[in-house]
Structure 1
C-alpha cells in the first residue's frame, strides 16, 4: 500500500522589517509498506535547502523514527536533474537559514539515525546536498549525477557533514574534493567505494526501493543494532567543537561575498576575514 503525505508547515520568516507568512516547505512523504520515501520537492529551486525545507525533512525523519512500522527510509529529490543543490544562498544572505521549526536535518545528519537510510540520488548533489547524501547509509546514484563540496569556492566550509568524508573514502581523495571544490561523477564515487549502485536515472528510485525492501524484510532490532555497531566503529563527530570552529567562517565577510558573487555571476573578491 502506498500512502502519499505532503508535509506543508506554515512558518513566519523575518527578513529585515518584512515578515513573510505561510512560506510552505516542499517535502513529500510516501509510505510504501515498511519503507518511507522522503522527497525534497523544490525542483524550481534546484531542491535547495531553505529553512522550511530543512524543517520539513526534520519532521519527516522524526515521523519515521517514531513509527515502529517504518523499517527503512529512502531519501530522494524531485526531478531528474538535481537531488539537492545545497544551501539556498538567497536564504543565507537574508539570514533566514537558521529559522528552522522542529529538529531540522540534524535529526539524521548530526547523529546516528536508528533506521537505515538509502539515498536515491537522482541528480546533482553538491554542498549541503552532498552532505545529505553522506548522511545516508547506502547510495544509489544516477549515471548523470555529479557530486561536489564547492563551499570553499564561496568562502564557506562543508561543516554539515562534508568534513566527515574521510570516514567514507581515503583521505587524499577526500581532501581533493574538499580543497578544490571540483565536482566528480557518480561513477568516480563508485570507484572510491562511496556509491553502492550507479544506474540510469529512471532506475534510481526502483533500485533504492529494492534495497530498502531487502533491509525491511530482516529483523528490525537486528538491523538497527547492526547499523549502530558498524557506524560506532567510526569516530563520532564532535559537533560542539565543529560549531565553535566554523562559526567565524560563516559569519565572515568572505562568506557573504561568496554568496553575493554567486548570485551576481562574478568571481568573488576575497578579503580574508
Structure 2
C-alpha cells in the first residue's frame, strides 16, 4: 500500500501523507513523495497542489526514527526532491498549500515550510525537537531565521519547545488558522482561487523570489528587466500577457491559457 494518496480534481492535486501510525517519513516514502511532486511540477494541466496528512492527529512528525534505527541512513537517498519530496525540488514554479491537520514537528514542519502558504487546524502544534535526538533540523536552520524574528527562530531551534497554531500565526509562520473540521474545505477553496489565476505569472513570481533571495535589489531587478529568468521571458512573450491587458480594457475576466 502506498504511503501517499493523491486526489486530482481539475487543475488541483491533493497529496496526502498516509503512513500509520504518525505519518513519519522514511527514505522510501520520501522518494515516492519526490516522484509525486515532480509529476505535479511537470504536468501542464495541474496548477496547484495541497499537501496534508491523513487523520486529524498528525500532519507529519518528520524523519522516521524507527526506520533510522533499522538502517535508514540520515544522509541516504531521499529522492528527487530531497526530504519529503518538496524542499529541494528544482523548478517548482506552481503554488503549493500545506494544510497542517495536526502535529507538525521536525521534518514535518520543514515540509510545511516548503509550501508557499500554510493553513493550520486550530489544534495543530509545532516543534523542532531534533536537538533532543542529537541531530540538526537542517532545512529549518536555513529557512526559519529568514521567516520569523531571528531570536525566536533560534529559541525554537535551540530548545526544541512546542508551540501552538496561535503562536505560529503570531510570528507569521502560518497564513490562517481554521477549525479542524473545516481545514480541507478551506484548503480547497484557496486552491480553486489560485487555480483560476494566471499560471505563467505564478511561475515568474516563484522564480523571482528564489533568484532574489540572496541577491542585491538592483541585481535582481536587472535580471528581471533583461529577461534573464526563463519564466519571466516566457511570460513577457506570452498570449496570457496580452490577454490580461485586453481583458482589463474590455472590462471582463481574463481567460488564462498558460501560454
Cα gap change, 1:36 to 1:58, in 2 (>3 Å): same
| Greater strand content | 1
Using the TM superposition, give the Cα deviation of residue 227 of structure 1 relative to its aligned residue in structure 2, in angstroms. Answer: 2.0
Structure 1 gaps, min length 5: 1-23, 237-273
Correspondence 1:110-259 to 2 at 5 A = 110-111=88-89, 113-235=92-214
Q: Which of 38, 44, 48 lines up with 2:24 in the alignment? A: 48
Moved over 6 A (4+): none
Correspondence 1:63-142 to 2 at 5 A = 63-97=39-73, 100=77, 102-106=79-83, 107-111=85-89, 113-142=92-121
The alignment status of 1:35 with 2:12, answered yes or no, reads yes
TM norm structure 1: 0.73
Tell me how far apart the structure 2 counterparts of residues 101 and 161 of structure 1 sit (CA, whole Å): 17
Q: Look up the match of 2:225.
A: none
The number of residue pairs the alignment matches comes to 212
SS at match of 1:109: coil
| Deviation string, structure 1 residues 1-25 (Cα, Å, up to 9, x no partner) | xxxxxxxxxxxxxxxxxxxxxxx54
Tell me how far apart the structure 1 counterparts of residues 45 and 209 of structure 2 sit (CA, whole Å): 23
Q: Look up the match of 2:252.
A: none
Tell me how far apart the structure 1 counterparts of residues 152 and 79 of structure 2 sit (CA, whole Å): 35
Using the TM superposition, give the Cα deviation of residue 94 of structure 1 relative to its aligned residue in structure 2, in angstroms. Answer: 2.1
Q: Look up the match of 2:236.
A: none
Cα gap change, 1:26 to 1:111, in 2 (>3 Å): closer
Using the TM superposition, give the Cα deviation of residue 56 of structure 1 relative to its aligned residue in structure 2, in angstroms. Answer: 1.5
Using the TM superposition, give the Cα deviation of residue 101 of structure 1 relative to its aligned residue in structure 2, in angstroms. Answer: 7.2
| Deviation string, structure 1 residues 28-50 (Cα, Å, up to 9, x no partner) | 11102101100000132x00011
Do 1:163 and 1:178's aligned partners in 2 also have CA atoms closer than 8 Å?
no
Using the TM superposition, give the Cα deviation of residue 162 of structure 1 relative to its aligned residue in structure 2, in angstroms. Answer: 4.2
Tell me how far apart the structure 2 counterparts of residues 82 and 151 of structure 1 sit (CA, whole Å): 17
Structure 2 gaps, min length 5: 216-259
Larger radius of gyration: 2
Tell me how far apart the structure 2 counterparts of residues 74 and 199 of structure 1 sit (CA, whole Å): 15
Correspondence 1:4-43 to 2 at 5 A = 25-43=2-20
